[in-house]
Amino acid sequence: MKAGIILFAHGSRDREWARPFQQLALALSEKVDGPVRLAFLELMQPSLEEAITLLVADG
Q: Give 1's pLDDT tier (boundaries 50, 70, 90).
A: low
Q: Give 59's pLDDT tier (boundaries 50, 70, 90).
A: confident
N-terminal to C-terminal alpha carbon distance within the chain: 7
**How many structural domains compose the chain?**
1
Tens digit of pLDDT for each residue in 13-43?
Answer: 999 999 999 999 999 999 999 999 999 999 9
Give the structural domain span for 43: 5-58
Backbone φ/ψ region at 6: left (φ over 0), alpha (ψ -120 to 50), beta = beta
| Contacts with 54 (C-beta within 8 Å, 6 or more apart), sequence order | 35, 37, 46
